[in-house]
C-alpha cells in the first residue's frame, strides 16, 4: 500500500487502519459507462488510469459480456475515442480514431465489426477535431452521422493545429461575455455537422462533404451548439436519419445574462436556414418556459422529441420540466409530463416501445431513476426504481431492462441491470471489490442524518463518512465540508476531486451537509438561497455542527476543520468572520469568493443577477444589497483561524485575485496562512500530479491543526 510517508509516521501512533490514500485514489482505474450493443449481448466501456512512478496515463476499452458477465480487454489503446453501434449487424460499429494520418489536428472514422477490430476499415478522414459522434443507418444502408467542432463565422470547421496564428495576441471586445470557465471566447463557436457514409454492410465511402446546421441560423455569430462547455447531449438524430435537433442559447438575448435556450429541428438534408425552433419563448402553451433547455432526444419511434427546460430565464438551477414534442414542424404540440413534480430530472432514455421515458433526478442525496409514462398528467408523481448512487449513464436493453453504470461514495463504478419495475437484475461489476486501492471500502463507511435548522420546515440531510477501522467507542477529529454551488448537493457518488473517503481515511469523521440551496429535496430548498448567501446556509451549517456536537459522541468537535470549494470556499470565508469560525482549528478555501463586490468579474452574470436579487449596478452599492450584505471581507476584523488558500490561474468563474486577496488579508492580519496556486488548473484541479500536491499540502495543514499529526509542520 502506498501513502504519504509523513502521514504514515504520524498515524502509526493512532489506532487507525488506513483505507484509501489520495495517491491510490488518483492512480486507480477510472471507468466510463457501459454502453450495450443493439442486441444487448455485450457492452463496452473505456477505462483509464495514471501511474505516478512513470508519470504516464493509460487508457483502454473493456468488453462486458452481458450473458456471462465476463469482462475482457476489448481494445488496448487510446486512439479509439468514441464508438457507436450502427450498421447491418448488432456488432457493426463506427468509431472515431482521435488521430488523422494526413491532417494534423484532424480525426478519422473507421467501420468495423466489434468482434474483429483488427479488420477495421478507414472510411473518412475529417480535417478538424470533431467529436460527439451520433450515427444511424437509413433504409438505403447508408449511415447518416452527426459530429461537432468549432466553426468560423462563415461555417467552415476550425482546426487550431493548422490555422494561421495572427502576429498579435490582442483580444478586443465590444460586449460582455469575454470568457467562460477557463477559456477566452472568440468568434469561433461550436456547430453540429452532418455527413453521409455511402454504402452498407461494413463498406462505406465518404464524399468529404459535411453540412453545418448551426452557424447560419442567425446572421451574426451568436448561435452555438453544443453550447460552449456542453457536449453531444445538446443534439440528436432521428432513428431513420431524416431529422436533426440541436439546442443553442436564445440568439435574441445577451449571452452573459440569460440562460434561455431554444431547440431547433432541421431536416438532415437541409441547412441552417431550414432550422425551425420547437420551443421559442412564447410559442408553446407554456408561457413560463423560457429558461435553460437540455437533452433533446428522439423517441425510438421517431415521431416524438423529449427534452428538459427550466422556467427561470436567468437561473441555471430552476426546476427542470420534462417536455415531449411531436417531431413534426407543422404541429410540435409541446406537452409537459409530470409538470408539477418537485424534482429536476436531467437524463433521458426512452423505452423501446416509446411509451415511457426513464429519467434520472437528484433525490435525497442520490440521483435516482424514475420512469415517466407519456400519459403522465401535470400532477403525476414518478416513483424511483433505483436507490443508492449517481448514474454516469443508463441504457434500455432489448428486454426493457436498464443497464446502469453508477458510482457511490464507497465505489468508483457499479455496473448492473434493473427491471423497469426496479428489481435488481444482474450485478456485473463493483470497483471496490476488485480495485486494490479501494480494498475494504463498502456501504458500512457511509451513513447519514437529518437535522432541524431554523431556516426551513423540512429537515436537512448530511452525509457521515467514517474512517477505515472505525470504532464507535473512540473519537475522531471532524472534517466539516460545505459544498459548492450553492445550488447543488453532496451526492452519494465517487469523486476524484473531493473524495470523502480519502479525507476520512486520514483519520477524520467527514460531515458533508446539504443545507439551504441543496438540490434533491424540492425546489423550495434550492430557491431559498436567493439573496441569502450569508444567512440561511450559514445558520444551517451552525445547526449541522451543533447536531454533530450533541449527537455523535465519536466525533471530537474540539478538533474540527472546515474545507470548501467555490461556494463552499465562500461560506468558509464567511465562517472565518463569524462565530462558527472559532469552533474550527483550521480552514481551507479552494477557489472561493472573498469579496462579493467583485462578483461581476465572473463570467455568467445571470448567476449573480439571480442569486443577489438583481444586477450589481442596481443593488450593489446599497448596504442592504446582497452583494454588500453578504461580503466576507466586511468581517475581516474577526479573522483568526489558520487558513489554507488555493486558487488557480485558469479559474474564470472566480478569478485568482479572490484567492490572492484572501491570502494577502490573512497575512496582513498575521493569521497563519498558506497559498497554493496552479497556473494550469481552472476551477478544479484535475491533473494527477497537481492533485497529489493539493492533497499533500491540504492534509499537512489540517492534520497539523486538528492534532491528527504533530509530527509534521504545515509549512
Ligand X SMILES: *[C@@H]1O[C@H](CO)[C@@H](O)[C@H](O)[C@H]1NC(C)=O
What is the nearest approach in angstroms of ligand X to the Cβ of residue 117? 7
Calpha distance 614→619 (Å, rounded): 6
What is the smallest separation between the CB atom of 64 and ligand X, expressed in angstroms?
A: 16
Q: Applying CB under 6 A, which part among 240-248, 349-357, 378-386, 392-400 lies near ligand X? A: 378-386
Phi and psi torsions of 57, nearest 5°: -100, 150
The residue among 95 and 508 lying less far from ligand X, judged by its C-beta, is 95
Q: Is 473 a catalytic residue?
A: no
Is 125 marked active-site? Answer: no
| Contact pattern from residue 619 through residue 658 relative to ligand X, giving x for each residue in contact according to CB under 6 A and a dash for the rest | ----------------------------------------
Three-state DSSP class for residue 316 = coil
Pairing of strands 424-430, 446-451: unpaired
Binding track over 554-583 against ligand X, x by CB under 6 A = ------------------------------
Task: Identify which of 132, 529, 50 has the alpha carbon closest to the alpha carbon of residue 316.
Answer: 529
DSSP 9-77: HHHHTTT------HHHHHHS-EE---EE-TTSSEEEEEEEEEETTTTEEEEEEEEEETTT--EEEEE-S
Give which of 159, 172, 129, 165 is closest to 147, Cα–Cα: 129
Among 209, 330, 379, 457, binds ligand X (CB under 6 A): 457
Q: Which stretch binds ligand X (CB under 6 A): 11-19, 34-42, 181-189, 328-336?
A: 328-336
Residue 550: Cβ-neighbour burial (10 angstroms; 0-12, 13-18, 19+) = exposed
For residue 519, state whether it binds ligand X (rule: CB under 6 A). no
What does the block give as the cell for 498? Answer: 473531493
Query: Which member of 683, 691, 695, 706 is catalytic?
Result: 683
User: Does 683 participate in catalysis according to the annotation?
Assistant: yes
> Cis link prior to 479 (omega < 30° from 0)?
no
Binding-site string for ligand X from residue 221 to residue 260, where x marks contact by CB under 6 A and - marks none: ---------------------------------x--x---
CB of 43 to ligand X, least distance (A): 19
Q: Residue 46 to residues 31, 64, 68, 72, 412: CA-CA distances in angstroms? A: 6, 11, 20, 12, 14
Residue 589: strand, helix, or coil: strand
Q: How far is CA 495 from CA 498, 572, 685, 694, in A?
A: 5, 20, 12, 15
Query: Exactly one of 62, 97, 347, 430 binds ligand X (CB under 6 A); which one?
Result: 97
Binding region for ligand X (CB under 6 A) out of 452-460, 547-555, 593-601, 619-627: 452-460
Residue 379 engages ligand X in binding (rule: CB under 6 A): no
CB 692 within 8 A of CB 22: yes
Is 384 a binding residue for ligand X by CB under 6 A? The answer is: yes
Q: Contacts with ligand X in 37-56 (CB under 6 A)? A: 49
Please report how close the Cβ of residue 102 comes to ligand X at its closest, in angstroms: 8
| Active-site option among 182, 435, 651, 695 | 651
Helix (H, G, I), strand (E, B) or coil at 332: coil
Instruction: Select from 5, 175, 375, 624 the one that contacts ligand X (CB under 6 A).
Output: 175
- Binding of ligand X at residue 662 (CB under 6 A)? no
Q: Which residue do the cell numbers 451548439 mark?
A: 225
448 scored as a contact of ligand X (CB under 6 A): no
Binding site for ligand X (CB under 6 A): 27-29, 49, 58, 60, 79-80, 88, 97, 99-101, 108, 110, 120, 141, 152, 154, 156, 175-176, 200-201, 219-220, 254, 257, 326, 331, 333, 335, 364, 384-387, 422, 454, 456-457, 524, 528, 539, 542, 609, 615
Q: Which residues are catalytic?
A: 566, 651, 683
Amino acid at each position: 500500500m502506498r501513502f504519504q510517508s509523513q502521514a504514515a509516521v504520524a498515524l502509526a501512533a493512532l489506532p487507525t487502519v488506513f483505507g484509501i490514500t489520495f495517491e491510490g485514489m488518483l492512480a486507480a482505474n477510472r471507468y466510463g459507462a457501459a454502453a450495450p450493443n443493439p442486441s444487448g449481448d455485450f457492452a463496452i466501456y473505456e477505462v483509464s488510469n495514471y501511474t505516478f512512478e512513470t508519470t504516464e496515463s493509460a487508457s483502454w476499452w473493456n468488453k462486458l459480456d452481458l450473458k456471462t458477465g465476463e469482462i475482457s480487454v476489448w481494445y488496448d489503446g487510446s486512439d479509439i475515442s468514441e464508438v457507436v453501434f450502427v450498421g447491418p449487424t448488432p456488432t457493426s460499429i463506427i468509431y472515431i480514431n482521435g488521430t488523422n494520418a494526413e491532417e494534423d489536428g484532424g480525426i478519422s472514422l473507421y467501420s468495423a465489426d466489434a468482434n474483429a477490430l483488427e479488420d477495421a476499415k478507414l472510411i473518412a478522414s475529417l480535417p478538424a477535431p470533431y467529436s460527439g459522434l451520433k450515427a444511424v443507418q437509413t433504409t438505403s444502408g447508408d449511415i447518416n452521422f452527426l459530429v461537432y467542432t468549432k466553426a468560423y463565422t462563415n461555417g467552415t470547421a476550425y482546426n487550431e493545429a493548422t490555422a494561421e496564428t495572427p502576429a498579435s495576441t490582442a483580444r478586443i471586445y465590444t460586449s460582455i461575455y469575454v470568457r467562460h470557465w477557463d477559456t477566452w471566447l472568440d468568434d469561433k463557436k461550436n456547430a453540429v455537422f452532418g455527413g453521409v457514409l455511402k454504402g452498407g454492410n461494413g463498406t462505406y465511402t465518404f464524399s468529404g462533404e459535411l453540412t453545418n446546421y448551426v452557424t447560419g441560423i442567425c446572421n451574426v455569430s451568436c448561435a452555438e451548439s453544443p453550447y460552449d462547455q456542453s457536449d453531444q447531449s445538446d443534439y440528436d438524430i432521428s432513428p431513420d436519419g431524416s431529422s436533426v435537433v440541436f439546442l443553442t442559447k436564445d440568439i435574441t438575448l445577451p449571452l452573459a445574462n440569460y440562460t434561455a435556450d431554444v431547440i431547433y429541428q432541421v431536416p438532415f438534408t437541409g441547412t441552417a436556414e431550414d432550422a425551425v425552433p420547437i420551443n421559442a419563448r412564447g410559442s408553446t402553451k407554456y408561457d413560463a418556459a423560457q429558461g435553460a433547455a437540455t437533452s433533446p432526444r428522439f423517441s425510438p419511434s421517431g415521431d416524438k422529441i423529449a427534452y428538459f427546460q427550466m422556467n427561470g430565464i436567468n437561473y441555471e438551477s430552476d426546476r427542470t420540466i420534462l417536455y415531449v414534442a411531436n417531431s413534426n414542424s407543422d404541429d410540435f404540440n409541446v406537452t409537459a409530463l409530470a409538470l408539477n413534480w418537485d424534482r429536476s430530472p436531467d437524463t433521458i432514455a426512452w423505452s423501446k416501445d416509446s411509451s415511457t421515458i426513464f429519467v434520472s433526478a437528484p433525490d435525497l442525496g442520490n440521483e435516482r431513476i424514475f420512469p415517466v409514462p407519456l400519459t403522465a398528467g401535470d400532477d403525476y408523481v414518478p416513483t424511483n426504481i433505483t436507490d443508492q448512487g449517481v448514474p454516469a449513464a443508463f441504457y434500455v436493453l432489448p428486454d426493457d431492462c436498464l443497464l446502469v453504470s453508477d458510482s457511490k461514495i464507497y465505489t468508483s463504478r457499479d455496473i448492473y441491470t434493473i427491471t423497469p419495475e426496479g428489481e435488481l437484475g444482474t450485478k456485473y461489476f463493483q470497483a471496490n471489490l476488485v480495485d486494490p486501492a479501494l480494498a475494504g471500502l463498502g456501504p458500512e463507511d457511509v451513513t447519514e442524518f437529518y437535522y432541524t435548522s431554523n431556516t426551513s420546515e423540512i429537515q436537512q440531510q448530511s452525509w457521515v463518512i467514517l474512517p477505515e477501522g472505525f470504532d464507535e467507542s473512540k473519537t475522531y477529529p471532524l472534517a466539516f465540508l460545505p459544498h459548492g454551488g450553492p445550488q447543488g448537493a453532496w451526492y452519494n457518488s465517487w469523486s476524484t476531486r473531493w473524495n470523502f473517503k480519502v479525507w476520512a481515511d486520514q483519520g477524520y469523521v467527514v460531515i458533508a451537509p446539504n443545507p439551504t440551496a441543496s438540490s434533491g429535496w424540492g425546489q423550495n430548498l434550492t430557491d431559498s438561497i436567493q439573496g441569502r448567501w450569508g444567512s440561511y446556509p450559514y445558520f444551517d451549517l451552525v445547526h449541522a455542527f451543533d447536531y454533530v456536537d450533541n449527537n455523535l459522541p465519536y466525533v471530537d468537535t474540539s478538533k474540527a476543520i472546515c474545507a470548501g470549494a467555490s461556494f463552499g470556499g465562500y461560506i468558509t470565508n464567511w465562517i472565518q468572520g463569524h462565530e462558527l469560525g472559532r469552533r474550527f482549528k483550521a480552514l481551507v478555501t479552494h477557489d472561493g469568493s472573498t469579496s462579493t463586490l467583485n462578483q461581476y468579474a465572473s463570467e455568467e452574470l445571470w448567476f449573480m443577477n439571480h442569486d443577489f436579487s438583481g444586477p450589481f449596478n442596481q443593488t450593489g452599492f446599497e448596504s442592504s444589497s446582497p452583494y454588500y450584505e453578504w461580503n466576507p471581507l466586511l468581517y475581516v476584523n474577526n479573522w483568526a483561524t489558520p487558513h489554507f488558500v488555493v486558487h488557480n490561474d485558469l479559474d474564470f468563474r472566480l478569478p485568482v485575485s479572490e484567492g490572492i486577496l484572501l491570502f494577502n488579508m490573512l497575512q496582513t492580519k498575521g493569521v497563519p496562512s498558506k497559498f497554493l496556486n496552479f497556473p494550469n488548473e481552472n476551477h478544479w484541479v484535475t491533473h494527477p500530479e497537481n492533485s497529489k500536491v493539493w492533497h499533500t499540502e491540504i492534509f499537512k495543514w489540517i492534520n497539523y491543526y486538528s492534532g491528527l499529526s504533530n509530527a509534521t509542520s504545515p509549512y
